[in-house]
Amino acid sequence: MSAMIRADIKNRLNIIWSSSLSRWKTWLGITLGFTLLYYLALMAALILKFGNYPNYAVAYNWPKNVWKIIQSTPSYSDMLLIIADEWLLEFGYMNYDFGNGISEWGLNIIPSKVLVVLILAALIATNYALLVSKRHCKLENKVQSSSAAGVGAMFVALTSATMSWVVCCATPSWIVGLSMMGMGVSLSLWLEPIGPFVTALGFGLLFFSLYVLSSPAQPTSKVEPVGNKENKNYYNPLPSEGVN
């Protein structure tokens, strides 16, 4: 049984690889294009929501900060968690009505989250490559896989947002998007801990979609008609008896 499972997985991986490789330009374009459009969409959502264009940008020395964290943090688990929250770029709107100014909203570019979005985009591109391939695939499988991929992508995209809003959360968090859509701040904060589980569920649905679309094509069997031209004497009636 284990050998059959390994053979099936190997076969599916070969199908995924060949489908993606045959359309590698499209695959790369979707992966990079989706990632860029994702962050542009986050910025557009902030501008439309608050009616202000960003008036400041800050670049952080991410490599230097990461190296300092590695040197000063003895625990590897703590080290990875701290590095995952390190910022690379920050764009936002500063309100100077309060003394030196206060950042009302911001969009943060965090490398760990960018990596998650890149993986999401790569899975979407791979699903697309399998979906448009000319291999035989049932229509119901395509519908199921497309639905699962769409819901999974929505979950991952939602929980990968790195926006901040002074009213809701001063640090980048995916719950800012929920509050911007009208959800109460207290409820959004209550939902924040389930973010990793929603992300995992989203990736699970995307991989399920890949599994369905990478099913090997089933061979179709030809059925010979009973009365073909090569076999005309398939029915021999009894000779009629003479009448006395």
pTM, two decimals, is 0.82
Neighbours of 169 (CB within 10 A): 18
51-63 confidence digits (pLDDT tens)? 999 999 999 999 9
71 pLDDT higher than 60: yes
**Whole-angstrom Cα distance, residue 150 to residue 91?**
29
Q: How many CB atoms are located within 10 Å of the residue 242 CB?
A: 5
Query: 55 vs 90, 116, 147, CA distance in Å?
Result: 11, 27, 39
Query: Taking 60 as the threshold, does the pLDDT of residue 224 lie above it?
Result: no
Mean pLDDT calculated for residue range 196-217: 90
- CA–CA separation, 151 vs 159, rounded Å? 13
What is the C-alpha to C-alpha distance for residues 203 and 10, in angstroms, rounded to an integer?
A: 20
Answer whether residue 163 shows pLDDT above 60: yes
* Token pair 């936002």: residue: 92
Across 130-234, the runs of DSSP E, i.e. the strands, are 163-165, 169-173
Is a pLDDT exceeding 50 seen at residue 244?
A: no
pLDDT reported for residue 185: 75
Tokens of 59: 């670049």
Higher pLDDT, 79 or 189: 79
CB neighbourhood size of 179 (10 A): 21
Q: What average pLDDT does the chain have?
A: 84
Summarize the confidence of residues 81-97 as an average pLDDT.
Answer: 91
CA torsion 234-237-238-243 (nearest 10°) is -160
Mean pLDDT score, 58-77: 93
Classified as helix, coil or strand, 26 is helix
Q: How confident is the model at residue 178 (pLDDT cuts 50, 70, 90)?
A: confident
Please report the pLDDT score of residue 234 as a whole number.
Answer: 46
Give the residue from 117, 130, 96, 150 showing the smallest Cα distance to 13. Answer: 130
User: Are the C-beta atoms of 111 and 62 separated by less than 8 Å?
Assistant: yes
